[in-house]
Amino acid sequence: MKAFTPLLDIDSVLPILSEIAIFGGMTDEQMHAILTLLETGVYAVKEPVFEKGEEPTHVYIVKRGKIELSITDGEIVLEKKGLTVGDCFGLASLMAMHRHTATAVALEPSEVIVLSRSALIRLQKEDCRLFSLLMMNVSRELARRLKLTDELLLQHLRPEDA
C-alpha cells in the first residue's frame, strides 16, 4: 500500500474541495476539520492507485492528473470512467466494506487527496455531527451514481429501433 503524506498545501485544494458533493453544506469550521484529516499521494503513469480485489482503505479525490477506473471480468474490460481534477472515487468499496471491484490506474502523472478509513473512524468519535453530515453527503453521491447506472442499464436494454 502506498504511503500518503499529510496535506500541507491547504490553499491549493480549497477550490477543488468546495466543488465536491461529499463536502457540500459544510461550514468553514467543519471544512477546516476535514482538511486536517486529508493526506496526499503521487502516482506515476500506469501506476495503480488500487487494484480489483484489494481491501479499500481510502476515499480518493483527483488533485492533479487523470485516473482511469476500469472493471474486468476475464477478458472483458469495461473502462468505467476517466477521472480528472475534483473527481471522487473509492467511495462505494469503502462504505460497503467489500474489496474493490474495479482497478484505478494513473493515465498521467497524478496526485490524489485521500481520506482514510481510520480518519473517518476518528471523526465519528470526535465529531459525530460532522461525521453524520459527511455520511449523508456520501449516501447522496452513491444514490446519484446508482441512478446513473440504472439509466445506463435501461439504455442498453432498450431495442435499437425504439
Average pLDDT over residues 6-35: 90
3-state secondary structure (DSSP) of residue 155? helix
Band of pLDDT at residue 79, cut at 50, 70 and 90: confident
Band of pLDDT at residue 147, cut at 50, 70 and 90: confident
The domains located in the chain, with CATH, are 5-117+126-149 (2.60.120.10)
Phi, psi for residue 99 in degrees, rounded to 5: -60, 155
The DSSP call for residue 3 is P
Say if residues 137 and 67 touch (Cβ distance below 8 Å): no
3-state secondary structure (DSSP) of residue 103? strand
| DSSP secondary structure of 35-99 | HTT-EEEEE-TT-EEE-TTPPP-EEEEEEES-EEEEEEETTEEEEEEEE-TT-EESHHHHHHT--
Q: Is the pLDDT of residue 144 over 70?
A: yes
Rounded mean pLDDT of the chain? 89
Q: For the segment 23-58, what is each residue's pLDDT rounded down to a tens digit?
A: 999 999 999 999 999 999 999 999 999 999 999 999
pLDDT, greater one: 162 or 48: 48
Cα dihedral sign, 88-33-126-40: positive
> Angle of helix 128-157 relative to helix 28-35, nearest 10 degrees?
80
Band of pLDDT at residue 137, cut at 50, 70 and 90: very high
Q: Is the pLDDT of residue 162 over 60?
A: no
Q: For the segment 80-123, what is each residue's pLDDT rounded down to a tens digit?
A: 778 999 999 999 888 888 899 899 999 999 999 999 999 999 99
